[in-house]
Structure 1
Amino acid sequence: MEKIAEFRKLFECHFTPLVKYSYAITKDKEQSKDIVQNFFADIWKNGMIDRIESFESFAFHAIKNKSLTYLRSIKKFESLVPELSIDQDPGVHDQHFPGYLLEAAILGLPDKCREVFMLSKMDGLTYEEIADTLNVSVKTVEKHIHNGLQKIKEKLAPYKALFLESVK
């Protein structure tokens, strides 16, 4: 039962960012969803969750390869994406990887924390506006924002150099 919960959490955190990444390559939303769903099905079927050291890197690289394979299969590879190389190391040369990591980290926050974080950082609401909207105290909002930032910082810590490189 614990493995199911772990897999579900991975799916919920990474599905949307991976679909967006696949779509950036394929330009086909439905096919991108299929690619990502098949990726997760393969991981589950093959029992690979326990063997993956860095899920983000593994998933990003796998989706990239599956998306490029799809393009090859429809014989549009040369004309649509000539600049992409299969041998690229994910996260080091791909400008989409930091955004994917950040979105996955935000989606991985607990529900209420994510809601407060999104209202503050994405929608630009003040702590007071969020407190009024959600009918909670300003201190509760502050706590959710603090906890959210801490969790995101912890999740992204292994990729610190990548984020610093992307700012250059």
Structure 2
Amino acid sequence: MAERDRSSLLGLLLDHYEEMTGHLARRLGSLCLAEDVVQDTYLRLRSLTALPDIDNPRSYLYRMADNIALDRMRAETRRGRRFAPAELGLDQPLDEPDAETALEHKQRMERLSGALAELPPRCREVFLLHKFDGLSHADIAARLGISRSMVEKHVMKALAHCRDRLEL
């Protein structure tokens, strides 16, 4: 699979993050679970060794996210986790944070997403490989054909930028 294809899908996922999270939150009844599913979608996409021929990349991402959400719901059911009954007006798991905490979390995630979008492409790629994929600096350097020192500089720059944007 061409890295460009993977990168374009990852970019599309970031571009549609809020829309996809809202879609999944309605389906799952929980914003926190929806955000987890979007992150799992990102991780699954990063781990694919080959991509099929994709006619509609956006639909492909939504289908992947929906399948992950379905897997998550099945797993929760097998574990015996119960969701609050809909007739009580509660559409979220019983251990869900209160509305104010959820709103603060959402706003913080939006600021983080915006901060990541502001980074130069290579810096963002290095940061995501390190923080989301868990790759070491040496592994990233080898994968991208840059020095380990440059990887460290990109990671430090991204961390400082995100920290500054989240402290606003």
| Shorter-chain TM-score range | 0.3 to 0.5
TM-score after normalising by structure 2: 0.45
Give the number of the structure with larger relative contact order, counting CA–CA contacts within 8 Å between residues 6 or more apart. Answer: 1
